[in-house]
Structure 1
Amino acid sequence: MISEYLTLNTSAEIICFVIAFICLIKDKSLAWRSMVLFLLITCITELTGIYIKKLYLADTVHVRPNIWIYNVLIIFQAGFTSLMFSHLLNKYINSKPIIIGGLAILFIMYVIEICIHGVFEKHNLTTTTMSVLFVLFSLFYFFQLNNDADYIVLKNSPAFWWVSGVLFFYFGRTACNIFYYKLSLVVVTPRHYLTYYIYNALNILLYACWSYSFICRKWLTTTSKSLY
């Protein structure tokens, strides 16, 4: 049934994708325009993941768990998010060294985990490293923004809200992963633990911030104001 696919998480992703498509499909910046493709890939991955999970629960002998598809998604998360950070940080510094360095670290972690346990187990090391890197990139961006001599109205700044979404999501996920064992013991409902609601809240916060940033980007573009 379609209700099995339209969860709280997938609904937020689809809405964000639709907003991104409307606001960014004709954007002159490759980095911003790439968000449309990234969100499309994310939506397809999530929906496919639900489908594979249903098959696995029906036949655990012949069907693999769906974790492998999320391990593949890590590659796109690292690539597209790094592209956007490169674009935003280039206003202040030559961001290529730190962005390429971060991607190199993630590539090494990813290869190590494939060698250790393959693609059918969660790449925890890569995911945690990526989260820490994106938190550091976000904090570095805010440091540069704080020292920016230009007057910027933050409530209308697409870059500010995009980075805020990244910071909230990856910092929250890192903290949740650190305390996962204790948090996973807290039963909220008979079917779900506290971690389920925390991860859903982080996803909604991320896509809400991103959706607003895309709207700001479209509005600023049409009014010919600064794109930062």
Structure 2
Amino acid sequence: MTLYFTVNTIIEFSCLLVACLCLYKEKDPIWRLSILYLLFTCFTEVSAIHLRKVLHQSNLYLYNVFLLVECGFISTFFYFLYKKYVNKSKWLIGWLSLFALFYTLELISNNFLNFTFKTASALSVAFVLASLYFYYLILKDEKFERLSIYPPFWWVNGTLIFYFGSTSTNIFFDYLIQDQISIFPQSIRYRIFNILNVLLYCCWSYAFLCKYLQRKSSSSSV
């Protein structure tokens, strides 16, 4: 069983637990959807470990499927965050259509055998830009928000850190994929993504906690 306990799985299951405790009574559907997304994330991670280390099979197709869910969830979450400031439904439809096109073309060019690396890299860049645009909307908004306890701000913080780090790492993919330091069993790239995962899910967990406290404060004031 210890085989399945990695940095990634531990932080993902921890974030899932926080989401379940904080969001199960949440009225906002997009925040509740986080529970299902994190559940699917944990399932994917554990299944990928089982395929690679137990069955000694490729798990790339599993991550290709996960990329679709990842794009759909993160994009939709951003859309609902934007709705408070602007209505960009056409942007969401256009972006998802463009993503589906590139994803399908890369799958075909890879003969459905490899991970859609280029599409994943483009996805990271898109989410970095989406995060920066959200910051711009906050700055333009006349309503004051205490950012230290503002759930969307911390959700976007985690998303920006992860996908900015992913973009930077992918630029140097050929170098980082190698085991440059012999005392470590994994590549530098793998360790960087461990750190990025921890930062992402810590920020998301804090966002879920802020959302819970916000809901409790609203209900007590009624």
With the shorter chain as reference, the TM-score category is: over 0.9
Q: Is residue 2:157 matched to residue 1:158?
A: no
CA contact (8 A) 1:13 1:39 kept: yes
**Equivalences for residues 89-100 of structure 1 within 5 A:** 89-100=82-93
- In structure 2, what residue type is equivalent to 1:146? L
Displacement of 1:55 in angstroms is 3.5
Identify unmatched segments of 5+ residues in structure 2: none
- In structure 2, what residue type is equivalent to 1:134? F
Q: Select the residue among 191, 200, 205 that pairs with 1:211.
A: 205
- In structure 2, what residue type is equivalent to 1:53? R
SS at match of 2:141: coil
Q: Is residue 2:19 matched to residue 1:26?
A: no
Q: Is residue 2:48 matched to residue 1:49?
A: yes
Residue 169 (structure 2) aligns with: 176
Displacement of 1:43 in angstroms is 0.3
Moved over 4 A (4+): none
Q: Which is worse superposed, 181-190 or 23-32?
A: 181-190
Residue 140 (structure 1) aligns with: 133
- In structure 2, what residue type is equivalent to 1:20? A
SS at match of 2:185: coil
Residue 218 (structure 2) aligns with: 224
- In structure 1, what residue type is equivalent to 2:157? S
Query: Deviations 1:32-69 (Å, cap 9, x if unpaired)?
Result: 11000000000000000000012443xxxxxx401110
Identity of aligned residues (%): 37
CA distance in 2, matches of 1:104, 1:98: 10
TM-score for the superposition, normalised by structure 1:
0.92
Residue 6 (structure 1) aligns with: 5
Displacement of 1:188 in angstroms is 5.9
CA contact (8 A) 1:188 1:194 kept: no
CA contact (8 A) 1:24 1:32 kept: yes
Q: CA RMSD in A?
A: 1.4
Residue 197 (structure 1) aligns with: 191
Residue 69 (structure 1) aligns with: 62
Q: Which is worse superposed, 156-165 or 18-27?
A: 18-27
Q: Select the residue among 105, 116, 123 that pairs with 2:98.
A: 105
Residue 79 (structure 2) aligns with: 86
CA distance in 2, matches of 1:190, 1:216: 37
CA distance in 1, matches of 2:75, 2:52: 29
SS at match of 2:186: coil
CA contact (8 A) 1:17 1:36 kept: yes
